[in-house]
Each structure stands twice: as C-alpha cells, then as structure tokens.
Amino acid sequence: MRDRNNNIEHILEKGFARLPVDDATTAKAIGEVVRCGKEAQRARKILPLRRIEPRRRYAFAAALVLSIGTGYLLLHELFFPPVMKFVKSPLPDEELRYNVAVVSAVNDADTDTVAFRDTGNEFSTDKKLQLLLAVGIRTRTILFDLSRIQVERTDSLYTVISLRQGEIAVDVAPGGRDTVSIATAYGSFTQLGTRFSVSADSIRGATAEVYRGSVRVRSIDGRDIILNAGQAWESCNRDIVTTVHRKRVELEELGRAFTDNKLEHFLHRGSDVLPHSTAVPEKPPSRRRVETSGPVGSVIDVVQSIRAMADRGDYQAVDSAVARLNNPAIADTVAGMLLTLSQRKKEFFRFIDAQRLLEAVVNAVSFSPTRREFASVQRYMLLKTGNGTPSDDLLRELKRHRKHFIEGSFGEDMAAEAIALLMSMKKYDEAVHEITEFLRQYPHHPQNDYYCYLHASTLRENLHRDAEALVEYQRYISQFPHGKYGEDALYRTLQLSLLARDMVKAGYYKKEYMRRHPHGRWVGEIRAIDVTAHR
C-alpha cells in the first residue's frame, strides 16, 4: 500500500480478494476504507451554504439583509403610527405622506416677517398670514390669519381638529369612509363629504358655513342640526339656520385654492371679528376692568388666563376670576372652555379635577342657567360612574341639583334618576312620593306606563299597603288599557279585591282578565276561582 489513493481505488475496483494475504496490510486497507466512508457521510451533512462560491455567499447575505429590513419597515408602518412631521415647503399630492403638512403659505405684502408657529400638532398664525394644510390624504384645511388649531387625531378612520380661535376652511375629498370633525368650545362640526368653514371667537361664539355637501352640528347642549349646502349656523342662535353670507368671488377664490392646492394671495375671512390691532386707550384700564369687559384682545387673554389657572389646579383662583365676570359673552366663552376642559380631564381619568371644574361652573352666577344646569348634570353623572360615590352622596347631589334647577331642561331625567336611586337604596316611602310627584308634573311622559305600575307594585310588595295598591292598580287599568303591564295589573287587582272581600270587583276583574287575556299566564288559576264562594 505505497500509494493510499491507488490502493483504495484498487480495493474498490477488485475487492479484498485480490490483496496480498497479509494481516497487517488487510487491516490497514479496511481502516482506510472506513475513514473514507466517514468523510463522505460527513460531507453530505454540511449545509449547502458552505459549498457555495464566495461571491454567491455575499449576494445571498445581501438579499437576506434587505428582506429583513423591508419586513421590519413594513411591520413598523402597520403597527406603529408614524411620527407627526411638518413640512414647510410646497409638496405635490403624491408626496403628502405625513399626517399633517404645510402645503402652501401666503402673507400680506406689507409684512416683512412671517409669524408662524407649530408646536407638536398645534398650528397658529399671526396677522397677515394664511396656511394651506394637508391633514391626512383626503382633507385640506385653510388656516386663516389670527387662528390657532390643534390636530387631535388623524388616521384612516377619524380626524379631529380642535379650533382654538380664528377661522378655518375645510375641504374633504369625496368617496372616503373616514370622518372629519372640527371641535370648538361651542360644539362640534362633522363633515358628511363636504366643503365648509368654521370660525370661533369669544364674542360671537362659533359659526359654520357649508358650501358643498352637508355638516352635522352638535352644540354644547347636545342638540343635533344638519346643515346643507348654502346654509350657516351660529352658536348664539342655536335653533336658527341662516344662509351663507359670503360673496361668489370669495367662494370661487376658496374653491380655487383647494383645487390648485395652493394659496396665491390673501383670502378674505368670512367672520373677521378679531381686529388686526387693538387700539391703546389713553388711560390703562384697571385689572378688574380688563378681566370683565375689556377689548377683544383682552377677552382672549382672560380666557387663556383662566385656562392656565385650571391647568395648574388653582381652582380658588378660577372661582375668583369667574366671579368677576360681568360680560355675558365673555362669561359664556369661559363657561364653554371650562366644560370642554372638564370633559378632557375626565377622558384622562382625572375625575377630581373634572369634578372641581364642573363645580366651578355650577356655582358661577355669571354663567347662563343652561350652562350651569348642564354642568350640574355632568357632575352628577361623573360622581355616579367615575368615583364609586356612595348612594347617600349621590342622593344629596340629586336633591341639590333639583333645588337649584326646578324648571330646568333636565328635570324629567333627573326626577327619573331620583326614583331609580331611591328604589336601589330601598327607601320606598320616598320613592313612592317621588313617583307621585313625577306623574303629577309630567303627565305626558312616555314612561308613565312604567311609573304608574311601579307605584302600585311598590305599595303592595314593599310597603304592604294593599288598599292604596288596589286603587293604583285600578288607575293603571283605566289609564293604560293596552299597557305593557296590563295583564299583571288585572291579576293583582283581582287578588287584592279578594283579600278585601269585594266580590263585585273581583267578579268584574275576573271577566276582564278572561276577555283580554284568554291565553294568559294565570288563566288556569283565575278560571278556578269561584267568586260566589267568597261571598
């Protein structure tokens, strides 16, 4: 075996029989064959990558890195919302891939500087500056001068823009399923595939104008109004719908800005209430004068000042500032701001702060009764659902509300709430009294069917005053002959008549039950009753 490879080939070709008969040579040949077999078996188990040429290995590694990176970016876009970016240079439509972007800007030729500020998702413009914003893909918004907005949310389902002050015009491309809503301190405005504008200031409140499509208006007191094209609405006249007062030239300029996706010149504001400059009085007014009935510039300062007090939790200062308000328009603006702020506190589970803000609105005599009553109802609901308030405290709050707002808009709802609360507390005497007053004050309430039956059942089951219960059941049968609880009322009336040994009434109501409910639940029992046997 001088040459190992040749010997192995010789053995494989001719077999062991041709080898010289020598034990040492034979053992060495067998060991060589075993070693070669193990090497061949180990070579088959090696990964294919090791047998690839170096250049192909590099190409395979690059493709693997690219695929992993692309997959990561795709998952990041799907499951993580993109960071809101702001681009101040004009961009074509196909490049508007950010949530909010400044598409175009225009300023008055007389102004040397452009006062534009964006902080996070908040935009504000100074005088003589207007912006065209892209909010998402389908919504364009013109931010007029002296205006401030905050984009609360923008995605494929729901877009919310809070208008702090000033005016914006909104254009929503038709065909999508997402909803765009403009929120103000005086209500919200939701598009139904449309073009419209919304303005908000501390004097006139909120104003909406619809140029195309329709808009759903929900005022601060919960009323819903649908505005169609050519109609307008003001928060100071919540039940009145007027016509749009813009000129045709202004509407054409507004439409051209949305169509061309560019602001070419300064557009006219539809509700130019805030002046560009405030005249300085000869004698500076006192602090009390500024906070109560100063010029428009100071009105904004008052609202922002009270907002800052509320944000830092200085509610005593809020109460003091609110008590000094004597201008109804300013007071209404402050009340709306406090109500909106309390709702936001509640959404972030800051129930104590929300409750304190609502209490400030309820106790402020400078606010309108409507605002105060609405705040009182919200405070009660917050106590009921948010803090696990004991029933005695809830009842005390209910009595407080009804004492201050006897003729309020929520009288029926709060009276019904009082009945339900008293029944849950097992204060049946007070509950019966409340039901009696409810039926007397609201004779046409749609749930009087239920309360009349509840009145009779409470007297019978919980107070065991059978004689009074019999009278109330009879009243129910006469007032609601086709009522929901008619069968039960007839059955209970028959039972109570038998207990009172009034066989005449018992016989009458037995016949009435069999006539009205021939297949009722108690037919067998009532048929077996022998009225004459009880006489």
- DSSP of 91-102: --GGG--SSEEE
Residue 234 has pLDDT above 80, yes or no: yes
Query: How long, in residues, is the chain?
Result: 535
Residues 488-512, mean pLDDT to the nearest whole number:
90
Angle at the Cα of 173 from the Cα atoms of 101 and 199, rounded to 5 degrees: 70
Angstrom distance (rounded) from CA 53 to CA 58: 9
Residues 387-414, mean pLDDT to the nearest whole number:
83
H runs (alpha helix) in 388-447: 391-404, 411-424, 428-441
Query: Residue 466: pLDDT band by 50, 70, 90 thresholds?
Result: very high
pLDDT for the residue 296: 41
Q: Which helix (H) or strand (E) holds 162?
A: strand 158-172
Using the structure block, give the residue that is written with the tokens 């006489």.
535
pLDDT for the residue 263: 85
Angstrom distance (rounded) from CA 528 to CA 535: 16
Angstrom distance (rounded) from CA 227 to CA 213: 9
To the nearest whole number, what is the mean pLDDT of the chain?
76
Burial 317-345 (b: 16+ CB within 10 A, else e): ebeebbeebebebbbbbbbbbbbbbbeeb
Q: What share of the chain is helix, strand, coil (3-state, %, to 5)?
A: 50, 20, 30
CATH architecture of 93-260: Sandwich (2.60)
497's tokens: 């008549």
Residue 123 has pLDDT above 60, yes or no: yes
Residues 503-508, mean pLDDT to the nearest whole number:
89
In the chain, what are the domain boundaries? Answer: 4-45, 93-260, 305-534
Query: Residue 432: pLDDT band by 50, 70, 90 thresholds?
Result: very high
Using the structure block, give the residue that is written with the tokens 């090791």.
50
Instruction: Give the contacts of 279 (CB within 8 A, at least 6 positions apart).
Output: 295
> Which superfamily does 305-534 belong to?
Tetratricopeptide repeat domain (1.25.40.10)
Angstrom distance (rounded) from CA 143 to CA 163: 10
**Cα within 13 Å of Cα(318), Cβ side:** 27
Contact 380, 401 (CB under 8 A): yes
SS3 387: coil
Angstrom distance (rounded) from CA 274 to CA 166: 8
Instruction: Using a pLDDT cut of 70, give the percent of the chain over it.
Output: 71
Q: Which helix (H) or strand (E) holds 342?
A: helix 328-347
Of the listed ranges 4-8, 158-162, 489-493, the one predicted with least confidence: 4-8
- DSSP annotation of 392 reads H
Angle at the Cα of 406 from the Cα atoms of 402 and 408, rounded to 5 degrees: 100
Residues 332-341, mean pLDDT to the nearest whole number:
88
Contact 141, 120 (CB under 8 A): no
280's tokens: 């300085």
Contact 202, 300 (CB under 8 A): yes
Sign of CA dihedral 84, 85, 91, 92: negative
Angstrom distance (rounded) from CA 206 to CA 221: 14
Burial 215-246 (b: 16+ CB within 10 A, else e): bbbebbeeeebebeeebbbbbeebeebeebeb
pLDDT for the residue 292: 41
383's tokens: 């106590």
Angstrom distance (rounded) from CA 250 to CA 273: 17
Angstrom distance (rounded) from CA 531 to CA 503: 6
Sign of CA dihedral 70, 72, 73, 77: positive
pLDDT for the residue 69: 63
Query: Residue 270: pLDDT band by 50, 70, 90 thresholds?
Result: low
340's tokens: 């909106």
Angstrom distance (rounded) from CA 354 to CA 383: 10
Using the structure block, give the residue that is written with the tokens 């129930």.
351
Query: Residue 271: pLDDT band by 50, 70, 90 thresholds?
Result: very low
Neighbour tally for 50: CB within 10 Å = 7
Residue 337 has pLDDT above 70, yes or no: yes
pLDDT for the residue 20: 54
pLDDT for the residue 57: 64
Q: Estimate the crossing angle of helix 328-347 against helix 351-363, to 10 degrees.
A: 160
Between the alpha carbon of residue 341 and those of residues 166, 217, 317, 353, the distances in Å are 19, 20, 16, 10
Using the structure block, give the residue that is written with the tokens 């509950």.
431
Query: Residue 23: pLDDT band by 50, 70, 90 thresholds?
Result: low
Entry pTM: 0.46
Instruction: Give the contacts of 218 (CB within 8 A, at least 6 positions apart).
Output: 187, 188, 189, 190, 224
Residues 344-366, mean pLDDT to the nearest whole number:
87
pLDDT for the residue 175: 66
Q: Which helix (H) or strand (E) holds 155?
A: none
